[in-house]
Amino acid sequence: MLTTSKSAETMSRTYVARAQKRDLCIGIMGLGYVGLPLSEAFLSAGFRVLGFDIDSAKIDALTSGKTYIAHIPDQRIAAMMATGRLEVTSDEGRLAAADALLMCVPTPLNIHREPDISYVRHTTEMIARHLRPGQLVVLESTTYPGTSDEVVQVILETTGLKAGVDFAIAYSPEREDPGNIDFSTSSIPKVVGANTDAEREMAIAVYEAITKVVPVSDMKTAEAVKLTENIFRLINIALSNELKTVFQGMGIDVWEVIDAAKTKPFGFMPFYPGPGLGGHCIPIDPFYLTWKARAHGETTRFIELAGDVVTRMPKIVIEALAEAMSAHLQKSVAGSRVLVAGLAYKKNVDDMRESPSLHLIHMLRERRAHVDYHDPHIPLVPTTRDHPEFSGMKSVALTEANLKSYDCVLISTDHDAVDYEFLVRHAPLVIDTRNAAKNISADLRHKIVKA
């Protein structure tokens, strides 16, 4: 931890006092699944908010009081705009007006499973073009330990301004869980790390206005916290999938095992198997650490093994589907009609990022199956980075006639809005990767194969 200069102490005291009076403009860079709820939280706390996004369609929607995220309805967007304290823009020249700039941008992997921090780099370069003394810059995107020091700070200091003296820099990882009705931005504690006391106090003053803050000693520690959270989930999800494979060979239902095990009030936390990993965190974030570890001459065999287990899951599901079609229908996958139920990466959201359903559709098409999908939250497939060939696909309605026209329905996402009793009753065969059909009538259970 670096010492704090007198000038930095003065900057911090002034900034903290303004934060306590809500006399700051909070700039949110990236108005997606993280940035939009974050903007709402700061508006609710009484701050002025400058929302920035390079996607002009998002700016147009917000200006019209319309949403583009299913679990954030139009009414909430309209209420945000009605405060009169929200400005949304794609004009980077407005960044100088913000007192804090919080970066909520993607951090994907490239084709070699290595970090792609181009979005972080480009956004930081944009900030640098408008950086002024007294501003606070915070990266919220999940990344490897050292990014804020080695990339963000280095770029910002090319301006001639010095971090911890002229401006402040901190790291506070996003912890959003899209669609989770039990937790919101304001009810999830915020980890905050900075390299000096003055910078940390500035960041704490901003975030404690919207939620509980958990300070840590420096930025790389805060970066490591987020990776640890998602690595924990990756490893336990991989374990549940491996147990599913083992128990299936013994005629044991892994979902029943986990539900019984979770009744133990200590020492156990339930994680459930599925068709693969999806979302913006768990399939990606752990491999930021494996990459960084190699730079330090270390290996992460446990993490990489867990990654291999879950990466294999779509293939295992397709193999189970092929076996079930052969055994139950005496048909091969080639030439068959398959309906994938659920395109989002998890239930009750419209988020398709890294969704295993996309991989399943791709693999089925490789086997020459005709594949459609149904998802009540995604009526039309937008263009995606990994599967642009699916752009324009439309969700098929779950009617009796439609279900009977398919040889098989593959449940990939267990949305609550789907009537699984109806689905199983009218589909010839159902491959269930989520235990979604666990409560359907006993006389229909012969149609279900768990995978």
DSSP conformational letter for 144: -
Structure tokens given for 57 = 């369609």
Give the whole-angstrom CA distance, residue 34 versus residue 122: 18
Of 434, 348, 357, which is closest to residue 390 (Cα–Cα)? 357
DSSP 52-65: E-S-HHHHHHHHTT
Give the whole-angstrom CA distance, residue 380 versus residue 393: 6
Catalytic residue among 25, 104, 281, 408: 281
Q: Decide if 429 contacts 328 (C-beta within 8 A).
A: yes
Give the whole-angstrom CA distance, residue 78 versus residue 90: 19
Q: How far apart are the first and last CA of the chain?
A: 50
Give the whole-angstrom CA distance, residue 171 versus residue 193: 5
Of 439, 405, 404, which is closest to residue 421 (Cα–Cα)? 439
Side chain identity at residue 312, one-letter code: R
Give the whole-angstrom CA distance, residue 269 versus residue 41: 30
Give the whole-angstrom CA distance, residue 34 versus residue 140: 9
Task: Reply yes or no on whether 281 is catalytic.
Answer: yes
- The 3-class secondary structure across 109-136, one letter per residue, is ECCCCCECCHHHHHHHHHHHCCCCCCCE
DSSP 222-266: HHHHHHHHHHHHHHHHHHHHHHHHHHHHTT--HHHHHHHHTTSSS
Is residue 21 exposed (0-12), middle (13-18) or buried (19+ Cβ within 10 Å)?
A: exposed
Q: Decide if 203 contacts 243 (C-beta within 8 A).
A: no
CB-side neighbour CA atoms (13 Å) of 66: 7
Is residue 95 exposed (0-12), middle (13-18) or buried (19+ Cβ within 10 Å)?
A: buried
Measured CA to CA in angstroms, residue 150 lies from 147, 161, 321 at distances of 5, 16, 47
DSSP conformational letter for 164: T
Active site residues: 281
